Amino acid sequence: MDLFAPQPTDNLLPCDGIVNDLGIMLSDDRALYQQLLDKLPWQSDQVTLFGKTHITTRKIVWMGDTSSGSDQALTYTYSGHTRPIQPWHSSVFHVKQLIEQRLLELGIAAQFNSCLLNYYPSGEDGMGYHADDEPELGHQPIIASLSLGATRKFVFKHKAHNKKTQDKVELYLESGQLVVMRGDTQQYWKHSITKTKKVDEGRISLTFRHMLNHP
């Protein structure tokens, strides 16, 4: 046992937010990875930057509650594009419930109604620095991110530009590992999945969140 490993209640950020590393929480992570890879309706993501739209090799699925009677209730818009929602896959919904129960045991009340899944085919697929600060997520959102597949580097960088806050926080996320971002994290920090040529295996991330319904 690593005596210096962070505890679930430890805050990995030095200031302006809370990030908890809950460690490996799934024993069947490899089987779940293959099931989601084979069964979900993956689509290439679209990102518009400076007026130019890019089609990514990274693929996504946006899923969640559709029982309100209108799939439009939980549409999600980021990078200039709106993502239509898919109904919950049974395995993803089960994982959602497991995460909610684990957080409750730590005194964190969270009810997730949606999940954005990203598939990175290899280490050459990544995600640039960004914050999950869209209006649909509300103030101080709780976002639980579960990793499956290849180990990848996850980096936090403070949005401010001064010596006090320039330090980066780096994690190597393993298959089955759960990280929770909450408090002011999205307001003050950006995060990224860095690209690398050293990884040739795929990774799937499941980021559970609560979206606000708009009439």
CATH number of the domain that 43 lies in? 2.60.120.590
| pLDDT score of 49 | 60
E-strand stretches of 52-165: 52-64, 76-78, 81-83, 86-87, 114-120, 127-130, 143-149, 152-158
As for how many domains the chain has, the answer is: 1
Query: Is 203 annotated in some ligand binding site?
Result: yes
Q: Does the pLDDT at position 177 exceed 50?
A: yes
Is 119 inside a domain boundary? yes
The pLDDT confidence band at residue 70, using thresholds 50, 70 and 90, is very low
- Decide if 7 is inside a domain: no
Q: Which tokens hold the place of 79?
A: 């990078």
Is residue 136 pLDDT above 60, yes or no? Answer: yes
Give the pLDDT score at 8.
78
> Residue 27 has what pLDDT?
86
- Whether residue 76 is annotated as binding a ligand: the answer is yes
Strand 169-173 to strand 177-182: parallel, antiparallel, or no bridges (unpaired)? unpaired
H or E segment and range at residue 44:
strand 43-49
d(CA 10, CA 164): 21
> Is 78 flagged in the annotation as binding?
yes
The reply, when asked if residue 56 is annotated as ligand binding, is no
Would 87 be classed as within a structural domain? yes
Tell me the one-letter amino acid at 47. Answer: V
pLDDT of residue 55: 77
For residue 91, is it within any domain? yes
pLDDT at 214: 47
Q: Could you tell me if residue 140 is inside a domain?
A: yes
pLDDT, mean of residues 179-193: 96
Range of the domain at 44: 18-209
> Does 172 appear as a known binding residue?
no
Q: According to the annotation, is 191 in a ligand binding site?
A: yes
67-96 burial code (b ≥16 CB/10 A, e <16): eeeeeebbbbebeeeebebbebbeebbebb
- Does the annotation place 23 within a ligand binding site? no
Q: How large is the average pLDDT for residues 65-70?
A: 64
- Which token pair is 174? 């393993």
133 belongs to an annotated ligand binding site: yes
Q: Is residue 6 part of a domain?
A: no
Is 57 assigned a ligand-binding role in the annotation?
no
Question: What does the pLDDT average to over 48-76?
Answer: 72
- Residue 68 in domain: yes
Q: Give per-residue pLDDT as tens, 71-83.
A: 445 666 555 556 7
Cβ neighbours for 42, distance < 8 A, ≥ 6 positions apart? 59, 60, 61, 119
Q: Is 69 annotated as a binding residue?
A: no
Measuring CA to CA, which residue among 45, 71, 72, 87 is closest to residue 193? 45
50 is in an annotated binding site: yes
Q: How far is CA 33 from the centre of its chain?
A: 15
The annotation status of 130 as a binding-site residue, yes or no, is: yes
Residues in the chain: 215
Which tens digits make up the pLDDT trace of 15-48?
999 999 999 999 889 999 999 999 999 998 876 6
Contact 125/201 with Cβ under 8 angstroms? no
**Predicted local distance difference test score (pLDDT) of residue 121:** 94
Amino acid 44: pLDDT: 86
d(C-alpha 153, C-alpha 50), whole Å: 27
In a domain, residue 5? The reply is no
Percent of the chain with pLDDT over 70: 82
